[in-house]
Amino acid sequence: KAGVTQTPRYLIKTRGQQVTLSCSPISGHRSVSWYQQTPGQGLQFLFEYFSETQRNKGNFPGRFSGRQFSNSRSEMNVSTLELGDSALYLCASSLVPGYQETQYFGPGTRLLVL
Amino acid sequence: GESVGLHLPTLSVQEGDNSIINCAYSNSASDYFIWYKQESGKGPQFIIDIRSNMDKRQGQRVTVLLNKTVKHLSLQIAATQPGDSAVYFCAENRGTGFQKLVFGTGTRLLVSP
């Protein structure tokens, strides 16, 4: 069974631009979560989607948004990019949203904002 | 605030040794913990998990111990191999009804031949 896939793997943008990242969960998984990883802040929860609905959001500004499609694929968008948005963005999927469901991570999208 | 943290940023061991990576948590209501391994350029890889109704759980070459009294868990890797070199994170899933992993700061395990 294929793992979580994320595209693109690498991205370079300039300040003020916007970016859309894509995540395809493991087949059959319906819950998708997004995390940001930086050297300074570590791994931080962004948001979680299930049944095309955002169920919870972490402590990030409104410039960070996402959505989930009927096939469980998810996208996240960052508008008006700032230098501090440079990070590895990770997507994780699980069968269902239950808090004891194991999450499996994709390889991440590395975003560099210049 | 409540946190999940690891004790040592770096752990260096010799190939064949047993490795122990520690993690402390502060939320006494926490009841589900996961260990992830992250290699350079990759996303975190699930290693093993443990629920609060257990004190110990074993996998292939790995054992997780949970001490709820002192709010501490550890990951033990037997016969550590160079391929075990990575950053190890403990994480707690704090979402009740939804997913929200809270990660520790990570311990880098360096295995020398």
User: What separation in angstroms does the CA of B18 have from each of B40, B80, B109?
Assistant: 22, 6, 12
* Contact by Cβ (8 Å): B62, B79: no
SS (H, E, C) B29-40: CCCEEEEEEECC
Residues of B in CB contact (< 8 Å) with A are: 32, 34, 36, 41-46, 49, 51, 89, 91, 93-106
d(CA A13, CA A106): 21
* Contact by Cβ (8 Å): B71, B26: yes
Encode pLDDT of B21-68 as tens digits: 999 988 888 888 999 999 998 999 999 999 988 999 999 999 999 999
Average pLDDT, chain B: 89
* Contact by Cβ (8 Å): A26, A96: no
Report A:40-79 residues touching B (Cβ under 8 A). Answer: 42-45, 48, 50, 55-56, 58
**Both tokens assigned to A93:** 């999927």
Lowest mean pLDDT among A22-26, B33-37, B89-93, B106-110: B89-93
Encode pLDDT of A23-66 as tens digits: 999 999 999 999 999 988 889 999 999 999 998 899 999 999 99
B93·A43 Cβ contact <8 A: no
Query: Which of A33, A42, A107 minimises the CB distance to B99?
Result: A33
Question: Which chain B residues are Cβ-neighbours of A107 within 8 angstroms?
Answer: 41-43
C-alpha count within 13 angstroms, C-beta hemisphere, residue B74: 13
Q: Which of B22, B19, B29 is nearest to B6 (CA)?
A: B22
**Both tokens assigned to B58:** 């074993």
